[in-house]
Structure 1
Amino acid sequence: MLKLAVNHSVISSDALVPVIHDLYDIGDIAEVRFLNNGLNDTYLVAASEIKYILRIYKVNWRSQSDIEWELELLHHLYVHGLPVSHAVMKKAGGNLVEIAAPEGQRFAALFTYAEGGHSDTKESSSLYGEEVAKLHAAMNGYQCRHDRFVIDLDHLLKEPLQSIKPLLAHRPEDFEYLEALSKLLRSRIETVSEELERGMCHGDLHGWNVHFHNDSLTHFDFDCGGFGWRAYDLAVFLWARVRGRGKDAFHNEMWDAFLASYQQHKALSKHDLEAIPAFIAIREIWLMGLHTGNAQVWGAWQNDHYFDTNLKFLREWCAEHAIA
């Protein structure tokens, strides 16, 4: 019988029930349900009186230091009154759980549950903008004790291109376009970098990492967060609303509500505002690198249609905003 290497295993929900019961003081567990094989594996944990979310981090995605940075940041935000899903303490203390999976050591953490769901209205966008401004302000006071990757141009452009290149080997002209565009985008941001606000960022503020409930919200999933440009952090919200909606979609009413509310609580410089179109193109390249870089786990579904769609958006966006 062959014994082969494993890229990714899905931990049994049934096997997790007694483990979570022993590790955490959350009462009887009615159910553990596997929800999502995303950047990490997500499970719903239904205890007797309250729900939680269990995240099991993938091997070779985040280091232990990266994860501890995230959990400590969430604790900082929670104790300062920010509405965030944060890690639950184990009975024995600490937040991290180590799992000996077939593919190697994995880490897990249990998080408080974010009530509510997604909303994409002007009202919810306005509330989100206000709360993101408060989030950025609160993160300014976070003193990091752990190493964490930085959201810089190597992270956003260089590393993604390395992942994209093998899957575009049969389309050399398209890869040459991405290389040339990345150089142009790097130059544009480097030219004004000293004028742009930098600080701790969520990294993934597309609007689906927040749940709205009644007149409040809860932030979650800081897995892509790190130290970077705040204009990039904000640009992700607009990027999620203009992809596939036409090259002239910059004036999006949800974005207008979000940005106006953000600036009522935290002003942006003209340099930050002017950098947002470039950061949207950068985000698209980062996403392509994310998808191709995880093909060994998610599958190599990044086919010609995928690249046609993404490159079309990039070309139209950059032409509309005089980037290329």
Structure 2
Amino acid sequence: MRTLYSMPAADDVARLVNDAYDIGEVTACNLLNRGFNDTYELGTEAGRRFVLRIANRRTRNEANLDYETAFLAYLDECKVPVAAPVTARDGRHWCLGSFAEGPRPVALFHFLPGRTARHGSAPDAYAQGRTLAEVHRAGQSYAGPASRFQLDFQHLAARPLAALLALRTLETAHRDFFAALVPRLGERLDAAKGTLAWGHCHGDCHGFNARITESGSLGRAAAFFDFDDGGPGWLGYDLAVYLWNKALNPATLNLWPPFLEGYRSVLPLASNDLDATLLFVPIRHIWLLGEYAAHASIWGLDHLSTAWLDRQVAFLRNWEEQHLLTRLF
């Protein structure tokens, strides 16, 4: 019987890290979360802390760790607050682990101190906007390994749409809606993309891939982790991921202005790129739905119930009707 996905025992994960990395004896290994990847917190005998990420299969079908870890190491050298990768014994920033379903990429990162962003905290939003701008500014001079993919329309919408339409349980009304919406979004993007800024993106700056500290030189700082979905792309998309997350909970949309203020404290933001965030919100949502659809064989179809998809369609329809022709802020 073939295995699609396996969950390793924590002591085996610790043994893998001890074999691959020279960080001292791992004495604690705890699963933090399962999702697009499996993430573990590790502690050593000397009291050092790390985070290990074991990659799962993704719709893009390729690990992008040469780029991701090199970009993170570069950002760390530039003093941008990020979770820097740990160099393995063989000199690389990642390795392959052997699992029941086959090899899976494994990467170890330095642990970030701090807390998660507080609900409704404008200073936390400002700090995250500032750090995202620091990522974009430093990225202008990055010259390391190239990404295996770009955050273009094919990656963000066309491929996710294919994953959605491949669901045998997708109702006709949902199928017709998605099949019509994505080309409309593509037409709008085609009309605008020639004027949009392009650069190296975090890819998943939704507000919770950060740790907030109070003792930095700036008073409050945000350090970023989880660049797994990053790559070269439209900077407006990278900004829009934060807006998208807040739009899903409209009571938190008041965090968008301070996030933008923090960004602008480091980099200017052209009006075309700001306007494009409204278009990138539904594109981001299609990307997420496609990731869920692609994981149906592992996570199950309960994550894609008709009632749940009804809510996603309602969000997308309402956003298109209300926000794509006018600026939100």
Interval containing the TM-score (normalised by the shorter chain)? over 0.9
Equivalences for residues 155-234 of structure 1 within 5 A = 155-167=155-167, 170-214=170-214, 215-234=220-239
Range with greater deviation from structure 2 (129-138 or 139-148)? 139-148
In the alignment, what sits opposite 1:312?
314
Range with greater deviation from structure 2 (92-101 or 304-313)? 92-101
Match of 2:100 among 96, 99, 102: 102
Distance apart, 1:82 and its partner CA:
0.9
Distance apart, 1:19 and its partner CA:
3.1
Range with greater deviation from structure 2 (72-81 or 257-266)? 257-266
Q: Once the two structures are superposed, what CA deviation does each residue of 1:150-177 show, in whole Å capped at 9, x if it has no partner? A: 1111111111111111337552222212
Q: Once the two structures are superposed, what CA deviation does each residue of 1:55-110 show, in whole Å capped at 9, x if it has no partner? A: 11124566666111111111111111111101111234222222221211112111
Asked if 1 retains the 8 angstrom alpha-carbon contact of 2:63 and 2:105, the reply is no
Distance apart, 1:20 and its partner CA:
2.0
Q: Which consecutive segments of 4 or more residues in structure 1 shift more than 4 A?
A: 60-65
1:168 to 1:258, Cα distance in 2 relative to 1, 3 A: farther
Equivalent-residue separation in structure 2 for 1:196 and 1:276 (angstroms):
11
Unaligned runs of 5+ in 1: none
Equivalent-residue separation in structure 1 for 2:283 and 2:164 (angstroms):
14
Equivalent-residue separation in structure 2 for 1:27 and 1:19 (angstroms):
13
Asked if 1 retains the 8 angstrom alpha-carbon contact of 2:97 and 2:105, the reply is yes
Equivalent-residue separation in structure 1 for 2:33 and 2:185 (angstroms):
33
1:62 to 1:296, Cα distance in 2 relative to 1, 3 A: same
Asked if 1 retains the 8 angstrom alpha-carbon contact of 2:156 and 2:284, the reply is yes
Equivalent-residue separation in structure 1 for 2:60 and 2:167 (angstroms):
24
Equivalent-residue separation in structure 2 for 1:241 and 1:95 (angstroms):
33
Amino acid corresponding to residue 23 of structure 1 in structure 2: A
Equivalent-residue separation in structure 2 for 1:56 and 1:111 (angstroms):
11
Asked if 1 retains the 8 angstrom alpha-carbon contact of 2:13 and 2:29, the reply is yes
Equivalent-residue separation in structure 1 for 2:323 and 2:73 (angstroms):
39
Range with greater deviation from structure 2 (129-138 or 89-98)? 89-98
TM-score in terms of structure 2 length: 0.91
Asked if 2 retains the 8 angstrom alpha-carbon contact of 1:198 and 1:229, the reply is yes
Distance apart, 1:24 and its partner CA:
2.4
Equivalent-residue separation in structure 2 for 1:174 and 1:293 (angstroms):
16
In the alignment, what sits opposite 1:284?
285
In the alignment, what sits opposite 1:57?
55
Aligned-residue RMSD, C-alpha: 2.0
TM-score in terms of structure 1 length: 0.92
Asked if 1 retains the 8 angstrom alpha-carbon contact of 2:279 and 2:324, the reply is no
Match of 1:22 among 19, 22, 25: 19
Asked if 1 retains the 8 angstrom alpha-carbon contact of 2:206 and 2:245, the reply is yes
Distance apart, 1:287 and its partner CA:
0.9
Equivalent-residue separation in structure 1 for 2:235 and 2:32 (angstroms):
31
In the alignment, what sits opposite 1:254?
255
Range with greater deviation from structure 2 (211-220 or 254-263)? 211-220
Equivalent-residue separation in structure 2 for 1:79 and 1:27 (angstroms):
24
Percent of aligned pairs with the same amino acid: 31
In the alignment, what sits opposite 2:217?
none
Range with greater deviation from structure 2 (139-148 or 124-133)? 139-148
